[in-house]
Amino acid sequence: MNRDASITSLSALALKLTLSEEEKGFDESDGTLLPIKIPSSFFKLINPDDPSDPIRRQVVPTVFEHTESRGETLDPLAEKRHAATARLIHRYPNRAAFLTTDLCFIHCRHCFRRRFTGTFQGPANEEEIEQAARYVEKHPEITELLFTGGDLFTLNDVQLETMIGAFRSRRPDLIIRLCSRAPAARAERITPALIAMLKTFDTAPFFLMTQFNHVRELTKEALRATALFIDNGIPAMNQTVLLKGVNDDADTLKELCNTILANRIKPYYLFQGDLVSGTAHLRVSIEDGMKLEAELRKRLSGLAMPLYALDLPEGGGKVPLVNSYVEEKKDGALIFRTPYGGHRSYPAD
């Protein structure tokens, strides 16, 4: 495989970009902060003449990451509290998340799992895999397992095959979600050999969960990688994070969602930013997010419309952030406001 070199320091960034004072102020020596890691292929998407470039904002750190705002924490979803084993998080009754590795191809500055990502713990070892697989075997209410981290595709095919086999040998019915930024950040990792290995596990479906946040990430290479899954019967669904200065306007999100859908990827979630330490400068207010949701509902079809959602703090679970169109109940009918500003009635009983 062709190894795509990554930029891992401010000094390396400074050779390629004119850094702003806010970017220069990022303290790489602070071990509590997510290290810099930008694949060269992803870096090439940045317009170096635009200090507010939406790709740049996702991967180039700033001094604002040193500030912890109200309500922020390194574990906003209380994953430590819901750890069933060393690498298995069981927050929801019917699904769990397995932390395959802490390694990622790319370090996104909005990362919600920065307490774990890039901490040099490496892939789950044999004991950690077995512990998690035994737990899932004893809990048949778990019907879906997220392979996440880190990025599972930083592992080689043999490592992945071993991990998947440990779970599927005990639970052939287990649906597995493959949660990855690889199509956007390291597309060449997705190979026919990888897909062929996945297809040997045919007792239950896989789903590819991508994260594309801006239409410029949908490169020819990224779409080729995603198509390899889709062409081989593995559906792809996209989870976009709503980010200030990246995609917090209706035109950008409309183009992103329609382009994703046109390439057979279902826009699944539009996530409100989690309360992760040092990410307040990237979070959009829920009030503004709700306005965007209402505007998108006018512009997008049902297939193209993602669910705007918030993963509640302290492990409270996901809730939809959806505008209500019921305005009142009158004369035995519910009065609805249409997405376009009109009104219609529907019998209440």
Over 80: is that where the pLDDT of 4 sits? no
179 is catalytic: no
Q: Check 87, 91, 168, 171 and give the catalytic one.
A: 91
Q: Which domains does the chain have, with CATH numbers?
A: 6-320 (3.20.20.70)
The answer to whether 39 and 70 have CB atoms below 8 angstroms apart is no
170 is catalytic: no
Q: Check 37, 56, 108, 168 and give the catalytic one.
A: 108
* Angle value at C-alpha 148, between 40 and 241, nearest 5 degrees: 65
- Please compute the mean of the pLDDT values over residues 272-280 and round it to a whole number: 96
pLDDT of residue 5: 87
Full-model pTM:
0.95
Q: Check 95, 254, 297, 299 and give the catalytic one.
A: 95
Q: Check 57, 102, 274, 283 and give the catalytic one.
A: 274
113 is catalytic: yes
Q: Check 53, 56, 102, 111 and give the catalytic one.
A: 111
91 is catalytic: yes
CB atoms within 10 A of CB 8: 14
111 is catalytic: yes
Q: Check 57, 104, 186, 308 and give the catalytic one.
A: 104
92 is catalytic: yes
Over 60: is that where the pLDDT of 2 sits? no
Question: If we measure between CA atoms, which residue out of 106, 111, 118, 32 comes closest to residue 77?
Answer: 111
Q: Check 266, 318, 325, 337 and give the catalytic one.
A: 318
pLDDT digits (tens, 9 = 90+) for 12-38: 999 999 999 999 999 999 988 999 999
257 is catalytic: no
E strand intervals along the chain:
6-7, 38-39, 88-92, 95-101, 144-149, 175-179, 206-210, 236-241, 265-271, 307-312, 317-320, 326-330, 333-337, 343-347
274 is catalytic: yes
pLDDT digits (tens, 9 = 90+) for 161-175: 999 999 999 999 999
Q: Check 56, 113, 114, 181 and give the catalytic one.
A: 113
pLDDT of residue 118: 84
